[in-house]
Amino acid sequence: MRKSIYIFFILVNFFCSVLNAQFSPYFKNYSIADYNAGNQNWGLSKTDNSQLYVANNSGLLTFDGIKWTLSEMPNKTVMRSVLHKEGRIYVGSYEEFGYWQKNEQGVLEYHSLSDLIKGQPFQDEEFWQITEWNDAIIFRSFFNIYIYKDDKIEIIHPPSTTISCHVVDNQFYVATLRHGIFSLKNNKLIPFITEEVLKEKKVSFITNYQNNRLLIGTALHGCFIYENNKLFPWQAPINKELKKYQLNNFSKNNNNLMFGTIQNGLYITNKKGEIEFQVNKENGLLNNTILGQKLTNDGKLWLGLNSGIAQIDMSSNLVFYNDSSGKLGAVYDIINFKNTTYIGSNTGLYYLDKENKLEFIAHSQGQVWDLKEINGQLFCGHNNGTYLVEHKKLKLVSSHAGGWVIKKVPERQNIYVQGTYVGLVSYKKEGSTWQVKHLGATTNPFRFLVFENKSTAWAAHAYKGLYRIKFDVNYDSIVSIRNYSTKGLNSEYNVRVYKIKNDICFKTNEGWQKYEALRDSIVDAPILNNEFGKHAYVISEENENILSLKQELSIEFKSFNTINYQMIVTDEYLKNRLVIGYENISNFNGNQLALSLNDGFLITDTSKKILNKKPLKPFIDNFKLNGKNLTLDHINKEDFKYKSNVSIGLTVDATANHFFEYTFDTISPTKWIAIENEKIELNNLTEGDYNLYFRSNNSFKNPSEAINLNFNVSPPWYRAKTGYVLYMLLGLLIMAIFYFLHKGKIAKEQRLLQLDLEKKQAIILKEAEIENEKRLISIRNEGLKSEVKLKSKQLANNAMSLVKKNETLTNLKREFVLNRNSFDTELYQKLLKKIDGSLGQKDEWKIFEYNFNQVHEDFFIGLKKQFPKLTHKDLKLCAYIKMNMLTKEIAPLMNISERGVETHRYRLKKKLNLDKEDLQTFLKIY
């Protein structure tokens, strides 16, 4: 701690003559919304390796660096005082005092000590202060002092209202309102300082001071020095402020005094009482009333406020400038020029006057990008152009908009090149004036610029692209400009270009690369990726010794000259204040660097390191199984059922910035998982052994030792012994059921087989019967066919007989005709008539038609139905053709010539609509 306080003291020496309310060490506010309790915080207590305990309007607040926990008093009254001592948290309230202590489940329980007082009830007393002295705990109200020791309480009655109690060099002092200051010896009050000057004055603190003197502070009358039994006012600058704003409390370290006031926040002075810093509402404190303060051995000053709590880091080498007015805006560059601090922001250019008040430089409104001292002159790169700052006024040098960056040309005197919104601009100093000229060739906006040599530079486009540029000898124009986006660059977007150790290096979206001159190409730079980090980029000015890197959660300072040099400013100090994408660190004064922030900036001394303290290992604050609290001793004895829910609350005996991590495997550090807040929930756990590891970590990635927790989750009943017995019984039952079912099934199958056999036999018999019937039908059909064939043959024979008969009669008739003269005319006519009658007998045709229908069923009916226009002769011809009779056989039957038959056949085909199809083939279908 002494080392860190010494670092802080060295840093503030630079500011002690000029700092006022705007400058302050780092502090962090905790609002009512953060701790979720009452607004007023009356007292604070913290010992080494303990949590913070706060006496709040609503009860006891506990803070482990992550979570706030509130414990209410049994009587629900306001808590006025608190003191932590060896696991007990002593508290004082209205007509009640006692202590809180954790039980076996890790839950705080309240134990009253008021019951030890017999026969002396409290009379409207509140206990405003608790002090430890000589193994005793002393509670103070305005009326009495209660000494608790060896489970007994002894009461001391001061002669007037008790204002405060203090331990100095193991002496216990009691300050009263009307009777001065007493010392406590053998539980008796001995007058110590009884001078009139202290009467009716409220003593806020008593402490030892330089050369064995006492420094005594009063609420409205400042501080006094007590030396050689004499009391006289302290001649220090702070005394005027304390009288004006009402001193309320006090603390100190080896180099500083801290005075808490009612009306104007906290004053931090040196040993002489000269104000170095003030922390109040003007620079960000929640309010100006300091109700209590506690300085811990790790250099953290805790403040209890009228509304909220604050922590001030007295051990840090960081000093912040905060503008709470909001007019400064986002800061982009800072420079200490001729002992004046100039600040360039998005709202304009400002400077700090002798009292460190923020002053605006007229006509500078707008974005300021760059502040640079060149040849004893201050250049301001502005959105509207580039200006010289002379006597806190602006003088336009260049009208080219957006002066992002300006660099000196190597090996050339008084020649500079600037990257602007509209390309590159050269500056040459001739006498006392600057000659400015746009170099032409391109109007690309160049935000980053470095020189490879005196004639070549590299320029990165503000958004996309990388260019290598060559200039003429006089820097009047650009000789060549080449786009290197396609020469191996991993990504052409958001390129940053730097010169590191004489190498031209590039930071892209994909990591670090560098220019390889022999190959005239851009190659990966694994060394830089490993050393800096793939996603880190440089945010500092060119410096031979130290580079400042923007990491994901910190700002890191590295030195190429000092082995193992590393300083880190963690996200704890920078959260929500960095100007993302435009982070900038400026050389401020010697080893001091200034980091631009929103609404201000911070200054750090690179010759001193920020302490990287390993966090304490965590412990389990509470363990819940399905909502039931368990002690650590009972965890292994408890039955963790399948699908149980486990809640594990972690804490640590500290308030330093940290977070918790857990893993199921310590072999691979990448498997550590960050825990949100302080609790891990494991729901619906399956069976098995759980081997959990927990540790604390911080922004420095410096984890604590791990702690281990083991428990076993039982399998569900259906995978336990009970389940297996049930499975066995169920298996036997299933086997028995299966046996009987199988037996029944076999019997049923046998019955079914018998029935099936009978059915098949019946079917076979039926099929045999049907087959027999088919055979009989076939035989009958064969007989019928034979009969038809026979009848057809008979019919043909009859037809042939008719033909022969008709032929005979025709021949006979022909002979009669030829020899008619040989016969009597009457006889001739009679014979001829009989012959003609025999040739044309109709009965013969009817008989033929009947017999033909018997053989060829419904032949004539079918033809007549389909072809109703067929004549009697047509039907005859069809019948004869159906019987396969030749033309010469048909002619005599029809009593016509053979040609007549052919003619008739032709006409018949027409009637039947036959063209090419044979008539005989057609008639077969009927």
Fold of the CATH domain 619-715: Immunoglobulin-like (2.60.40)
Q: With CA atoms as reference, report the closest residue to 476 among 460, 455, 462.
A: 455
Tell me what the mean pLDDT of segment 770-776 comes to.
85
Placement of tokens 């030829």 in the chain: 818
**Does the pLDDT at position 367 exceed 50?**
yes
- Between CA 548 and CA 540 the distance in angstroms is 5
- Between CA 484 and CA 481 the distance in angstroms is 10
| Of 717 and 418, more confident | 418
Quick one: pLDDT band at residue 689, thresholds 50, 70, 90? confident
- Between CA 683 and CA 625 the distance in angstroms is 10
Q: With CA atoms as reference, report the closest residue to 20 among 516, 520, 358.
A: 358
**Does the pLDDT at position 324 exceed 50?**
yes
- Between CA 265 and CA 22 the distance in angstroms is 13
The pLDDT score that the predictor gives to residue 795 is: 61
Residue 111 near residue 101 (C-beta atoms within 8 A): yes
Q: With CA atoms as reference, report the closest residue to 128 among 168, 86, 174.
A: 174
pLDDT by residue (tens digit) across 505-551?
999 999 999 999 999 999 999 999 998 989 999 999 876 578 899 98
Superfamily per CATH, domain 400-534? YVTN repeat-like/Quinoprotein amine dehydrogenase (2.130.10.10)
- Report how far apart, in Å, the C-alpha atoms of 244 and of each of 19, 278, 549, 625 are: 20, 15, 45, 57
Tell me what the mean pLDDT of segment 433-443 comes to.
92
Tell me what the mean pLDDT of segment 476-499 comes to.
93
| Of 695 and 42, more confident | 42
How many CB atoms are located within 10 Å of the residue 343 CB? Answer: 27
Residue 713 near residue 641 (C-beta atoms within 8 A): yes
Helices within 819-858 (DSSP H only)? 825-839, 842-855
- The CA-to-CA distance between both ends of the chain, in Å, stands at 130
Helices within 401-512 (DSSP H only)? none
Which runs of E-coded beta strand occur in 530-618?
Answer: 537-538, 546-550, 554-559, 566-570, 585-589, 592-597, 600-605
The pLDDT score that the predictor gives to residue 1 is: 41
Quick one: pLDDT band at residue 3, thresholds 50, 70, 90? very low
The pLDDT score that the predictor gives to residue 655 is: 63
The pLDDT score that the predictor gives to residue 21 is: 39
Average pLDDT of the chain, as a whole number: 86
Quick one: pLDDT band at residue 790, thresholds 50, 70, 90? low
Tell me what the mean pLDDT of segment 239-255 comes to.
95
In the chain, DSSP finds a helix count (H) and a strand count (E) of: 14, 65
pLDDT by residue (tens digit) across 193-220?
999 899 999 999 999 998 889 999 999 9
**Does the pLDDT at position 658 exceed 80?**
no
As given in the structure block, the two tokens for residue 916 are 């090419």
Quick one: pLDDT band at residue 44, thresholds 50, 70, 90? very high
Q: With CA atoms as reference, report the closest residue to 346 among 326, 364, 368, 324.
A: 368
- Between CA 310 and CA 304 the distance in angstroms is 7
Tell me what the mean pLDDT of segment 319-346 comes to.
92
- Between CA 493 and CA 778 the distance in angstroms is 99
pLDDT by residue (tens digit) across 615-641?
778 878 788 888 888 777 777 777 788
Q: With CA atoms as reference, report the closest residue to 589 among 574, 572, 607, 576.
A: 607
Superfamily per CATH, domain 31-157? YVTN repeat-like/Quinoprotein amine dehydrogenase (2.130.10.10)
Placement of tokens 């500056």 in the chain: 427
pLDDT by residue (tens digit) across 272-319?
999 999 999 988 899 999 999 999 988 899 999 999 999 999 888 889
Q: What DSSP designation does 151 have?
A: T
CA–chain centroid gap for 539, Å, is 27
- Between CA 668 and CA 127 the distance in angstroms is 53
pLDDT by residue (tens digit) across 871-883?
888 888 888 888 7
Percentage of the chain beyond pLDDT 70 is: 90
Burial class, 735, CB count within 10 angstroms (exposed 0-12 / middle 13-18 / buried 19+): exposed
Instruction: List the 88-93 sheet strands across, edge first.
Output: 81-85, 88-93, 96-102, 108-112
Residue 15 near residue 319 (C-beta atoms within 8 A): yes
Q: Are strands 171-176 and 181-185 parallel, antiparallel or unpaired?
A: antiparallel
The pLDDT score that the predictor gives to residue 18 is: 38
The pLDDT score that the predictor gives to residue 16 is: 40
pLDDT by residue (tens digit) across 793-852?
566 566 556 656 766 777 777 777 777 777 777 777 777 777 777 665 555 556 666 667
The CATH class of 856-926 is mainly alpha
Residue 704 near residue 695 (C-beta atoms within 8 A): yes
Q: With CA atoms as reference, report the closest residue to 848 among 821, 880, 885.
A: 880
92 beta partners: 81, 97
Tell me what the mean pLDDT of segment 849-857 comes to.
66
Q: With CA atoms as reference, report the closest residue to 331 among 282, 368, 358, 381.
A: 368
**Does the pLDDT at position 176 exceed 70?**
yes
The pLDDT score that the predictor gives to residue 840 is: 52
